[in-house]
């Protein structure tokens, strides 16, 4: 059982106005640079992502985007290391 809070009717002291320091709602949205593309995927892949998205209460396109971003970042790192070891630079 939680301890019950007892409030008293006491003076809270002098008040002061605090400047609005919170960012506006549009500044809270993290925006990635996105490019619209058209892609054809197998029915089974789309069905899989749709079922996983429904189970996790998210959007299936967001899941696919996240998967591709993760894959690209992992391989970008390994390609950079491979180029450093061989001395060959790859574009990108």
Q: Is 2 exposed, middle or buried (0-12, 13-18, 19+ CB in 10 A)?
A: exposed
Tens-digit pLDDT profile for the chain (92 aa)?
678 888 888 888 888 888 887 777 777 777 778 899 999 999 999 999 999 999 999 999 999 999 998 898 888 866 666 656 666 555 55
Q: What's the whole-model pTM score?
A: 0.53
Backbone region of residue 78 per phi and psi (left: phi > 0; alpha: psi in -120 to 50; beta: other values): alpha
- Give strand ranges (E) for 1-92: none
Question: Tokens at residue 57, please?
Answer: 């209460």
């Amino acid at each position: 059982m939680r301890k019950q809070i007892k409030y008293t009717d006491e003076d809270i002291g002098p008040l002061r106005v605090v400047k609005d320091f919170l960012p506006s709602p549009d500044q809270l949205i993290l925006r990635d640079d996105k490019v619209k593309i058209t892609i054809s995927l197998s029915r089974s892949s789309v069905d899989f992502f749709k079922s996983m998205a429904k189970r996790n209460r998210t959007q299936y396109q967001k899941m696919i985007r996240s998967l591709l971003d993760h894959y690209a970042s992992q391989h970008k790192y390994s390609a950079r290391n491979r180029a450093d070891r061989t001395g060959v630079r790859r574009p990108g």
